[in-house]
Amino acid sequence: MIRKRPKKPIENHKTAAWANREKINQATNVSQPSLMQTINAKEHVDENEK
């Protein structure tokens, strides 16, 4: 069986949650975004509410 490779990436890594992390919580190993990224995410969600 021959697998086809997608021509375009499925995910955009520039906007991934780990792309602009400020620090990583050592206890949970979860990345925490910067304050500016949190504000941008909130604005995006508020604009796209149905």
pLDDT in tens, 28-44: 888 888 888 888 888 88
Q: Specify whether the CB–CB gap between 27 and 21 falls below 8 A.
A: no
Residue 43 belongs to some domain of the structure: yes
Which pLDDT belongs to residue 11? 67
Which pLDDT belongs to residue 25? 85
Domain that includes residue 27, residue range: 22-50
Q: Is residue 16 very low, low, confident or very high in pLDDT (cuts 50, 70, 90)?
A: low
Number of domains in the chain: 1
Q: Specify whether the CB–CB gap between 18 and 31 falls below 8 A.
A: yes
Mean pLDDT of 16-37: 81
Q: What does the pLDDT look like over 2-15, one tens digit per residue?
A: 777 767 766 666 66
Residue 30 belongs to some domain of the structure: yes
Residue 41 belongs to some domain of the structure: yes
Strand positions, DSSP E, 1-50? 21-25, 30-33
Residue 3 belongs to some domain of the structure: no
Helices (H), the chain: 35-47
Which pLDDT belongs to residue 6? 65
